[in-house]
Chain A
Amino acid sequence: MATILVVDDDPDICALLEFKLTSGGHVVTIENDGEAALAALEQQNVDLVLLDWMMPRMGGLEVCLAMRADERFTQIPVLMLTAKAQEADVQRGLAAGADDYILKPFSPREVAARVDASLARSSR
C-alpha cells in the first residue's frame, strides 16, 4: 500500500483516479492546484505524485521542477498526466524530472498499472 498524491483541477479525473487507485489498495490524497500539492508534500509522506500539467495558481511542470530542486522530494516518482501531447511537451515534462508521461484522454487501468510499476522501481 502506498500513499499517492493526485493533483488535478478536474474533479471527474480526481474521482476516477481515486476510485481506481483506492481499489488497487493505495491511499489517495487529492489536491486541485500546484501550490496546494507542494503544501501537501510538506505535511505528509507521499510515495508517488500523479500530476496534471495545466492547473490554476501553479502548473504541474513548476511543481515537478520544485520537487526536483528540493532534496526531500527528489526520490518521489512523478507521473505527468496531461493533454499536452506534442513531442516537445513530452520532452519538457521528462526534462523537468517526471518519471513517466501519460496522455489524456487516459485509461485509469493503464494509469494504475504505471503507478504500480513506478512504485516497484522506486522501492528497489
Chain B
Amino acid sequence: MADANGRLVVYLTVVLTALVIVLVVLTTLARAWRRSRERRRHEADLIARPLILAALDGDLPESPVQVSSQVGRYLDSMAVGMAGKLRGADRSALADLLGRRGTVAAARRRTRSQFSGRRLRAVELLGSLGVAEAVPDLVARLGDPDEEVRRVAVRALGRTAAPEAVPALLALLDAPRQTESAHYITLALLRIGPAGTSRLADAVHTHGPRGREAAAQVLGWLGETSAVAALEQALQDDDARVRSAAVEALGRIGLPTAAPAMRLLLGPEQPEAVRITAATALGRLGDPGSAEPLSGLLAESHVLARAAATALSQLGPAGLTMLREESSVPESHEVLSALTEEVMA
C-alpha cells in the first residue's frame, strides 16, 4: 500500500514537473515569437513609412516599388489604412504607390475570386484607395451572392467618386429583389457628388421609380441648379413619390423660377403627401408669389393646413399677412402664436 502511494506521488510529481516545463517553454516561445514579430514589424515600418510619406510628397522615383513580400504586405496594409482617412490628391498618391506595386491589379483580379472573404477584402481595398479604373469590377460585385460584399461594393463605388457608378447604383433600387439599403446607396451617390449631376439628371427620367426618386433626392441635397429643368419635368412623373422627391429637391435648390411649376403640386388632384411636401418646399423656397395658393390650403385637413401655415410663415410679409387674415383657422393661429413666442424669447 505504502509502495503504491509512493509510486503515485512520484508519478504526480513527474507529471506536474513536465507540465511546468512545457508551460515555461511555451511561454518563452510565445514571448520570443512576439518579440520577433515586433522586430519584423519595426523593420518593415522603417522601409514602408518613408515610401508612403515620399508618395504623399510626390517624391517617389519613377522605377517600380520593389520590396520583400513581407514588407510589401505591411506597406499595403498601412497605405490602405491611411488612404481611408485621406481624400483628393493625397489619396490618389497612395493609390498610385500601390498601383505601381501591382497591389491594385491583384485586388481587381481578386474581386472575381471564388472565396467571398477574398472578394470582400479586394473590394474594401479598392474602395479605400478610391480606384476609379476599378469601377467595372466594383459594379460587377453589386450582384455578388454575398450580402456583405454587395454592401461594401456600394460604399466602395461612392468612394471612387466616379460618375460612371451612378446608373448602376440607382438600378439597384429597382432590382426585382432589392436587398441593399436605400440609405447606403443614397450615401454613395452623395459621396460621388457634383461629378454625378448629369447622370442623376438623366436618371430622373430614365430609371425605375425608386431610382428616379433617389436621383431627385440626391440632386436636391447636392443643391444642383443645373438639374432644375430635369426636376421640373419630374414634377409630372406618374409616380407620386418621384413627384414628391422632385418638388422637395427644387425647394432645397432654392431657385425662385421653379415656384410656378412647384405650385401645380398643391392641387386637389394630387395625393395629400405630395401636397404637403409641395407646401413645405414652397415655404423653404420663400417665394412670396406662393402666399395665395398656400392660404387656399388652410381649409384642408389638419396636417396639410399645418404645413401650409408653416410655409406661409416663411414667406416674409406676404405670408404673414395671409396668416393674420386667416387667424381664425386653428393652424394659422398655432403658427402665429409660436412665432410670437419665438420673438418674445
Contact = CB atoms under 8 A, between A and B. Distances in A.
A12 to B, nearest CB: 5
A20 interface: yes
Ranked nearest first, the 4 interchain pairs of A and B with the lowest CB-CB distance are A107-B88, A105-B87, A19-B53, A12-B82
Contacts of A10: 85
Contacts of B81: 12
Interface of A: 10, 12-13, 15-16, 19-20, 23, 104-110
Interface residues of B, number: 15
Given A16-B82, A19-B56, A20-B56, 14 more contacts: A12-B81, A13-B85, A15-B49, A16-B56, A104-B85, A105-B85, A106-B87, A107-B88, A107-B89, A108-B56, A108-B90, A109-B88, A109-B90, A110-B88
Nearest to B159: A105
Interface in B24-63: 49, 53, 56-57
Nearest to A110: B88
B140 interface: no
A105 to B, nearest CB: 4
Most B-side CB within 10 Å, residue of A15, A104, A105, A108: A105
Interface in B70-101: 78, 81-82, 84-91
B220 to A, nearest CB: 15
B241 to A, nearest CB: 26
Contacts of B84: 105
29 contacts: A12-B78, A12-B81, A13-B85, A15-B49, A16-B82, A16-B86, A16-B90, A19-B53, A19-B56, A23-B57, A104-B85, A105-B84, A105-B85, A105-B86, A105-B91, A106-B85, A106-B87, A107-B86, A107-B87, A107-B88, A107-B89, A107-B90, A108-B56, A108-B86, A108-B90, A109-B88, A109-B89, A109-B90, A110-B88
A13 B88 CA distance: 15
A107 B89 CA distance: 7
A59 B86 CA distance: 22
B92 to A, nearest CB: 10
Contacts of A104: 85
Nearest to B82: A12
Contacts of A109: 88-90
Nearest to B128: A105
Contacts of B90: 16, 107-109
Contacts of A16: 56, 82, 85-86, 90
Contacts of A105: 84-87, 91
Contacts of B86: 16, 105-108
Contacts of B87: 105-107
A110 B91 CA distance: 13
Contacts of B91: 105
A12 B85 CA distance: 9
A105 B86 CA distance: 5
Nearest to A13: B85
B89 to A, nearest CB: 7
Interface in B101-144: none
B53 to A, nearest CB: 5
Contacts of B53: 19
Interface string B271-308: 00000000000000000000000000000000000000
